[in-house]
Structure 1
């Protein structure tokens, strides 16, 4: 049961691009005649569609082939052909290099701003090189030290990303105050309830699995 809860969090994490959607939209020129929300909406639909056709076949086929014993990284379960496994791992590296920049852009900007304001570090290439390289090194250290990859995805997917899926609905209800039981009112509340009920069990499942794995894990072995 807890594995099912954890899987909900992993799915939430996989489709958590909305966490940086507003940051991307802010960089798009916007005018009353051509608002930025139009290309943002089209981009979001395209991105989620590509996510779905990439993730769901792998998840379904992996479960069909290996059942509940499938590892968090399905490539670990594969033994051959070697060339296919190597190619898949190479594609993962290429994907991570690009996606890491997108997901971490908010942290990068926060670090840059903090170093400029707090310690008067001059803005420029040196600032970005030091701040961003330090953050990458830190996340690498955490990843090596606590390699509960699937459990962490489930926990952060539920605790960190699911709330961002329904908080806009709450803000919209507060600002717009739509008529009760209208279509938009029902859809907004549906998003809130679905997001909340994904957040709660997935966070619990991920946290429980982290504790269970940590009890049998030896660091750096």
Structure 2
């Protein structure tokens, strides 16, 4: 906390800590890697959940490749990405938060209903030392990924009015505390109960391990889709801001609706393409979670 100084962007904090140039070189690349990576993972997650919803609701229908579901999920963002700023997606963000709590509750409740599986095992899944070590680090990366929100915290705080009498740090701190409590309420029951019921055979997406009741699992998967729709936009907004700022200030493009239209559509198309090319949900979580760890320590 710096008295009398407000940082509205993450790179501003980096510049204060490391200097004008070095701060940019240290913070911006890592922040971009995390935010773009999170968007790619959300593309995969959204497509996977849509596919699971389709297969659950219509089990007798012809199977459709994951690629098409990722494209369907991306089509929503070709529209939502043209909302101007964080304030304009507040409704989407609220819906995403509610859906996160809802599908998490469904996940652990349905796990209890399904009951403890026969021959459940709680030992290491890998039978080699190297495999166990890699699984351990992948788990740490997955945990770090769950808290990657630090990378957009200053951009979010910038939307809160601040005066000397009522500084934005007060409501922001309360929001952060509440957010962590909600995250704990969402994740810990799923992790503990899911592992207790399925052991080391639990799927990275626990909803895939659950099959009945079908209507509840289908609803939970749709909640996941709505959640990642909102979350994608939260992480994409700072990227849009960075790209458009560089295009206008460095490359001398005229700020216009057309520039925004092209930049944001190209970005959504890029994340969609990478998600289609590498649709490995659990592997991506751990890998990109490792990148998320360093930038979060700056705040």
TM-score by length of 2: 0.52
Q: What's the offset of the Cα at 1:19?
A: 1.0
Q: Is 1:112 aligned with 2:230?
A: no
Q: Is 1:79 aligned with 2:211?
A: yes
Cα deviation per residue 1:38-76 (whole Å; 9 max; x = unaligned)? 111011111111111112212222212221122221111
Structure 1 partner of 2:255: 123
Structure 1 partner of 2:232: 100
Once residues 166 and 119 of structure 1 are traced to their aligned partners in structure 2, the CA distance between those partners, rounded to angstroms, is 32
Structure 1 partner of 2:296: 165
Structure 2 partner of 1:37: 169
Structure 1 consecutive aligned stretches of length 4 or more whose deviation exceeds 6 Å = none
Structure 2 partner of 1:172: none
Q: Is 1:70 aligned with 2:191?
A: no
Once residues 152 and 90 of structure 1 are traced to their aligned partners in structure 2, the CA distance between those partners, rounded to angstroms, is 21
TM-score by length of 1: 0.69
Once residues 235 and 282 of structure 2 are traced to their aligned partners in structure 1, the CA distance between those partners, rounded to angstroms, is 18
Structure 2 unaligned blocks of 5 or more: 1-131
Once residues 128 and 91 of structure 1 are traced to their aligned partners in structure 2, the CA distance between those partners, rounded to angstroms, is 29
Q: Is 1:150 aligned with 2:282?
A: yes
Aligned residues: 167
**SS of residue paired to 1:104:** helix
Q: Is 1:137 aligned with 2:272?
A: no
Q: What's the offset of the Cα at 1:18?
A: 1.3
Structure 2 partner of 1:26: 158
Once residues 298 and 249 of structure 2 are traced to their aligned partners in structure 1, the CA distance between those partners, rounded to angstroms, is 30
Question: What's the RMSD between the two structures over aligned residues?
Answer: 1.7
